[in-house]
Amino acid sequence: MSDVIEIRPLTRVEGHGIVRLYLDGKRAERVELALIEPPRLFEALLLGKRFDEVPEIICRICSLCSTVHRVTSLLAVENALGIEVSPETRLYRELIVYGGQIQSHALHLFCLALPDYYNAAGFADLAAKTPDLLKLGLRIKSVGNLIQETVGGRLIHPVNIIPGGMGKRVSRPDLLKLQGALEDVLPAAVETHNLFASFAAPTRPLPRHSFLAVQGETAASLFGDRLDSSRGRSVAVTNYREALPENVIAHSHAKQSRFEGEEVIVGALARLNLGMKLPPMADKAFIDSRVKLIGVDIWGNNLAQAVELIMTVECALETVTNLLNKGAGPVGPAAVTPRKGSGSAATEAPRGVLIHSYDFDSRGYCTAADIITPTAINQEAMERDLLALAREMESADDAELRHLLEMLVRAYDPCISCAVHLVRL
């Protein structure tokens, strides 16, 4: 006979998930992380859609990372159809991806994760207990959203970035406004790092996992053409299918992905462990917090996101300055001649490695779509950590155990809408 502890629903995460812990007496026997988000069957929805419709539809997978889904989709479509974009267009895409990461990390750190450190049930409690901290986070978040709205025309499901270029360039006064807002918020990002650096890990160390991230010699941070693992393996993004096969599992609507047969962690912690290029202030924070970040378990992920908040603010600032200095270069959109082709692209979403891949027929209509999301990759490591934590906490009472299990899931910052419905055709 076994007892089951069920956490249903998982709260303060995006989407619908359940954790079930099966107990034999006091001993934790196994854990199931069920991502029960209702399947929206996105890949099937994309079949038969023209190439320019694909990014518009697919960004609806998830609101928290709609921008990076849209950009990754554009890159894959452009790779498939051989579309070149101007350097300005590339800069705008980098900028909006930084904006998306600022908003996503700030939402996760302040609205979803921080309440755990203040014995609060959520942002509403936090607003009563430490109003200034919540406001600090929301101020950072609003700058990420200002970028997304200015560049994308809308802050969720952005519309202004399209195959070959943009609908409309961002005006100089708007760029100056972004520059001012980013400069203002940089100290707040540093403060966020100091705050999260002051928190101790809630348990003894959990098992360590390998890390995986998108890398590229010449590309901007968060972009690249290779998948590198902390075991020293490196695979070109175009060969991702061999390296990251997916499996259907019985208790979850998301498929699991392993990298070269090994469970891996993706996300902010993985990026920092794999030596992502950091601008000066982020690098200083990273060096200060090095021992809490390098080779650690997932409890380090919140702090890693805080370091990345500084990074993305600095990167966005540099990109805006570049755009201001460059003057008004062309942003297209370039004329597109449909052709038969396949293309894939990988980008670092806030939660980690995101891959989009499409096939098009000679008229430019989609014949196959494949998307691998960070939460699907993290799923297996999450389950293993949940089990390790449950075993570690055998003497804990039920409420404490539930609280820590949920906190652990939150440390991964899962995005369950993304993980479900995105599976190979």
Partner 1 sequence: MTGPAIAIAGLTACSGCQLTLFNCEEELPLVADRFHFAHFPMGISEAEECGPLDAAVVEGCVSTPEDLETLINLRNRSRLLIAVGTCAIWGGIAAMKNNESRKELAETIYGEAAHALRTFVPGPLHRFVTVDFTVTGCPPEKGEILATLSALLHGTLPVFPGYPVCTECRNRENLCLLIERNELCLGPLIQSGCNARCPAVSIKCEGCRGPASEANAAAEMELLLEKGFSRDEIVGRMRRFYPEWDHERRY
Q: Which of 244, 241, 296, 240 is closest to 272 using CA atoms? A: 296
Is position 156 an interface residue for partner 1 (rule: CB under 8 A)? yes
On whether the CB atoms of residues 293 and 272 are closer than 8 A, the answer is yes
Is position 179 an interface residue for partner 1 (rule: CB under 8 A)? no
Tokens 């089951």, located at residue: 4
In the list 16, 20, 177, 292, the residue contacting partner 1 (rule: CB under 8 A) is 16
- The phi, psi pair for 47, rounded to 5°, reads -60, 130
Is position 111 an interface residue for partner 1 (rule: CB under 8 A)? yes
Joined together, the tokens standing for residue 149 give: 């709205």
Cβ atoms within 10 Å, residue 104: 25
Joined together, the tokens standing for residue 104 give: 């996503």
In the list 159, 201, 334, 393, the residue contacting partner 1 (rule: CB under 8 A) is 159
On whether the CB atoms of residues 164 and 83 are closer than 8 A, the answer is yes
Contacts for 135 with CB less than 8 Å, ≥ 6 apart: none
Joined together, the tokens standing for residue 166 give: 């943009």
The one segment of 161-169, 262-270, 298-306, 339-347 that binds partner 1 by CB under 8 A: 161-169
Contacts for 141 with CB less than 8 Å, ≥ 6 apart: 102, 103, 106, 107, 110
In the list 297, 380, 385, 406, the residue contacting partner 1 (rule: CB under 8 A) is 406
In the list 96, 97, 134, 244, the residue contacting partner 1 (rule: CB under 8 A) is 134
Q: Which run of H or E residues covers position 354?
A: strand 352-360
Binding mask 40-69 for partner 1 (x = CB under 8 A): xx-xxx-x-x---x--xx--xxxxx-x---
Whichever of 145 and 378 has its CB closer to partner 1, that residue is 145
The one segment of 37-45, 92-100, 336-344, 374-382 that binds partner 1 by CB under 8 A: 37-45
Binding mask 112-131 for partner 1 (x = CB under 8 A): x--x-----xxxxx-xx--x
The residues binding partner 1 (CB under 8 A) are 9-16, 36, 38-41, 43-45, 47, 49, 53, 56-57, 60-64, 66, 103, 107, 111-112, 115, 121-125, 127-128, 131, 134-135, 138-139, 141-142, 145, 153-157, 159-160, 162, 166-168, 248, 250, 253, 406, 417, 421, 423, 425
